[in-house]
Amino acid sequence: MDDVDKIIEQWNRERPDLDVEPMALIGRLMRIANHLGKGMGETFSKYDLNLASFDVLATLRRSGAPYALSPTDLMTTMMITSGTMTNRIDQLVKRNFVERIANENDGRGFLIKLTDEGFTLIDEVVSAHVVRQKELVSGFSKTDRKTMNQFMKTYLEDIEKNQ
């Protein structure tokens, strides 16, 4: 019996009129997400990054050469507000990991581009990140991971469709 089972047992005792079965699944998903976040955060902190800064750098890196996107494209990809995006960019500019460059396709706009230092850093961090992610799921067989991934994909599609 884990902590979630204990919570469910308490609710069943106190409110037997409620169907709290979904609470067990959601509670476990939230606890797992918390543990995964902490595990990945340990890797990011070794490089003096956090999830937010990693996310910007990784988004630029995986976008391909020239490793530059408009702030709007970054915001859309990362699903964050413009104020949050501006703050993240400002912090990364101060550390010389990204730079603002003129957007040749929009004379009024600019792009956020990885610097050479940012490119080198994110390549190193993403390699360590992939190793850490593999460790975090090492308790599952490849078949189980594939099955769980499909379940989670279907579940996420359903949630996002109904939002």
Q: Where are the domains of the chain?
A: 1-45, 47-129
Give residue-wise pLDDT tens across range 106-155: 777 899 999 999 999 999 999 999 999 999 999 999 999 999 999 999 99
Choosing among 1.10.10.10, 2.60.40.420, 3.90.280.10, 2.40.37.10, the CATH entry for 47-129 is 1.10.10.10
pLDDT (tens digit per residue) in 73-86: 998 888 788 888 89
Query: Which residues face 98 on adjacent strands?
Result: 114
137 CB contacts (<8 Å, ≥6 apart)? 145
Residue 34 and residue 124: Cα distance in Å, rounded?
24
Strands 98-103 and 68-69: unpaired
